[in-house]
Homo-oligomer: A and B are copies of this chain.
């Protein structure tokens, strides 16, 4: 029996109460890998809408944040690409979804900036690009031009981790770490869905990736409830099949 010493361990139902119509929602994961399945399903079931979604991408239609897009719960998405979710493209062309594209490395660094309490970052990515530079301040440093990119935070961040202790210390699993540690830092409220909750002291202090101070609530995951693309398609053959 895990002691809930810090009151952070809550039910999925309680967790979802923080996610309301029109709020901004940041979601960890990359192509759906490392996104929190039980929280995402509960959001769908609860029926919230008008969300501003901040995520690496719009995943695939049936997994990760994809269903939020497909069911029309998202008003605006700030992402690096929507290439794996044709529904997102369709809704964008229909005017039902506002998409702010951001180069992937800039996007994650903006999320980190939000999580680290910075006021912005300067990047030379896209500085002369007619689309990516549009509407952004250009700052000159020693004769070189940079774009000012602004931090991203959200009303609620949801992440997926392998283990949490009751203080909210998190470790992740392999490449499912991806954007999760950054997203965990950037929420006004951060909720971690975890495969396993372990007692305080069970995690090696050296191995903790997200210190518990960044995590407000912890929920027990019910596991992945979708099929991965590589399970649906033929099994990958050869190396680096994409």
Contacts and interface: CB of A to CB of B under 8 A. Distances in A.
Nearest to A207: B207
A134 interface: no
A146 interface: yes
Interface stretch (A46-54, A137-145, A194-202): A137-145
A164 B125 CA distance: 33
A139 B120 contact: yes
Tell me the interface secondary structure of chain A in the complex. mixed
A151 to B, nearest CB: 9
A123 interface: yes
Interface string A106-139: 0001000100101111111000000000000101
B120 A141 contact: yes
Interface of A: 109, 113, 116, 118-124, 137, 139, 141, 144, 146, 148, 150, 171-174, 205-207
